Amino acid sequence: MSNVIQTESDVMNFLISKAKTNGQPAVRAIVVNRVVKNPERSLQRVIRVALVVTTNNESLVDALIQECLNIDNDIYFVGSDVNLQSDLEVDYLFFEAKIMAKTT
């Protein structure tokens, strides 16, 4: 996609709403990284978002990958990680997205 106009908030809202429609009632999203790949020639940057969900969520991962493929907003699933600290049953699903960089 060449003219990405989505914001960080748009990406997080999209992922949260799709996770909720696929059975995750207490999902949240956190931006964990921001990169401008070529600041002299681009108004776009790439963000990495961690979607915090419960464990045992293979069907959720499949559904979110399919949802990202069905839209034309350059949001991609890049991997997952499991929280092994204490007794929390939390997974982190990582997505990358192209967004408009700040111009002011």
pLDDT of residue 88 exceeding 90, the answer is no
CATH-assigned architecture of domain 8-100: 2-Layer Sandwich (3.30)
Q: Is 20 helix (H, G, I), strand (E, B) or coil?
A: helix
In this predicted structure, what is the pLDDT of residue 11? 93
In this predicted structure, what is the pLDDT of residue 91? 86
Q: Which band of pLDDT confidence, cut at 50, 70 and 90, is reported for residue 4?
A: low
Domain boundary assignment for the chain = 8-100
Integer Cα distance of 85 and 42 in angstroms: 39
pLDDT of residue 34 exceeding 70, the answer is yes
Do the beta carbons of residue 33 and residue 85 sit within 8 Å? Answer: no
Q: What is the mean pLDDT of the chain?
A: 84
Integer Cα distance of 6 and 88 in angstroms: 33
* Burial letters 35-57, b for 16+ CB under 10 A, else e: eeeeeeeeebbbbbbbbbbeeeb
